Structures are given as C-alpha cells and as structure tokens.
Structure 1
C-alpha cells in the first residue's frame, strides 16, 4: 500500500519513515492508512479516522512534512508540537523539516501518543456534516 511513498525515499529515510508509520499504527489504532495526494505533495501516507483526514506524512522536493488535523483543532497539541520539535517550521496544521534529525523519533512518539488521546469525534462530525 505504501510502496509508492516508501520507494521514493533514500534507504536511511525509509527506515525512519517505517518507524513513524509503526508509531502511528501502534498508538492511534483508529486510523486507516492509504497513499494519496496531500496539498501539493504526491503519494503521501494519509491516515483517516471514520473517513476524515487525521494525519499525513509527505515528502516534497526540499523538505518532509507531518500534517495533523489534531494539531490544527487543539491548541495544546499545537503548543506541545512547538515544545517537542524546536527545529521544525511549524504551521497551524503541519510541520516542515529539512532533515529527519529535526524530528527525533521519541518526540514524534510523544506527539502521537498525546494526539491519539484527544477526542477526534467533533472533527469527524464537522467534516461528515459537510459532505
């Protein structure tokens, strides 16, 4: 399923992204993974809950990104992201980083653990109402 995304990465990046994927799957068991376009990125790893976008991992020409609707919808997760990851470019619902060293696995684990604990049902209800 994720082959098109993973094969576009360098070998050391593949191992790193496998760890990110495993983290999401371990701590947020409500999500389903698929490969899809995200913003301007082709073939990102997209994680949805009840058909609503929740997270994505993408690779662009100049950087990597982690997109999070949980971060977008929860100010405390947004703050936690900035605290855990001081070397990334943070936006409202995503972070961009030029090197995998800028997003240490332990920080990502903490971010996903906290994100998975958040009640995502209001976001699901909002977006399901729109469709």
Structure 2
C-alpha cells in the first residue's frame, strides 16, 4: 500500500490533515522516504531516514491521529518548544496526538519538521551502539 492509498482508506474528515502533514514531512525533511508498514499493531505511514531508521510516522487511530517524531523524543528543547506552541494537542514523549488541524496546524508542523530535519537519528543510534 502506498501512502496515498493509506490516506484514502481513512475517514474523509481525516484525509485532508493527513495529506497536509504527509506533504509537510516530505517537503521539510529530504532525508526521509515514506512507506506504509505496521508499527504498534497498526498500519501507518513511516518515514525512514536514509531508508533505514524510523524518524517520523503518521497514524490514524480510533480516537485520534498521531505524529510520531523520534527527534522530539531525543531532544527535550524541541519537545518543550512545540508543546508550548500546540497547547491543544496531547504530547507524549515522542508523539503528538490530535483530532484536527486546529490542534496540530500544518504551519507549526512544518516548523517542527524543519527543526527535526537537522537531527540525524541514524548517526545518534550508531554512536550509541559504539559506546556499548
């Protein structure tokens, strides 16, 4: 299944925000490529850095949508900045749960992805392996 096919299978009221966020991620972080795969028991669009490591994911759950963001999980200042900018969204350690574009505006998501694009997840994970 392609990302476009995944989005087309979602409820109509979610398709516009999923499409907007998908386009934001691809436009603002050239290091990632999308693939639809299962994660945490459900299919979602996973954006892999250099085709290897999950950097972001977009999911459509029963009650909300989620933007999984590994760079935010690994960077407390980024997490703090965007939890303040998006007070209506529900922040977890590495994901943002939301129900509409009012809670996660694409323009702010673009700023988030711009900030996260500077973080090389693959290099961080490889450095951690070398320390062990």
TM-score range, shorter chain: 0.7 to 0.9
Instruction: Give the secondary-structure state (helix, strand or coil) at the position aligned to 1:57.
Output: strand
Q: CA RMSD in A?
A: 1.9
Contact persistence 1:35–1:46 (CA under 8 A): yes
State the TM-score, normalizing by the size of structure 2: 0.85
Residue of structure 1 equivalent to 2:26: 25
Give me the whole-angstrom Cα distance separating, in 1, the residues matched to 2:59 and 2:10.
Answer: 11
> Gaps (5+ residues) in structure 2?
none
Q: Which runs of 4+ in 1 moved over 6 A?
A: none
Q: Secondary structure at the match of 2:84?
A: helix
1:48 maps onto 2:41 in alignment: no
- 2 CA distance for matches of 1:71 and 1:53? 13
The normalised TM-score by structure 1 is 0.86
Kept in 2: contact 1:20–1:108 (CA 8 A): yes
List runs of 5+ in structure 1 lacking aligned partners. none
> What is the distance in 1 between the residues matched to 2:11 and 2:55?
26
Q: After superposing the two structures, state which structure 1 stretch, 3-12 or 42-51, moved more.
A: 3-12
Q: CA deviation at 1:105?
A: 1.1
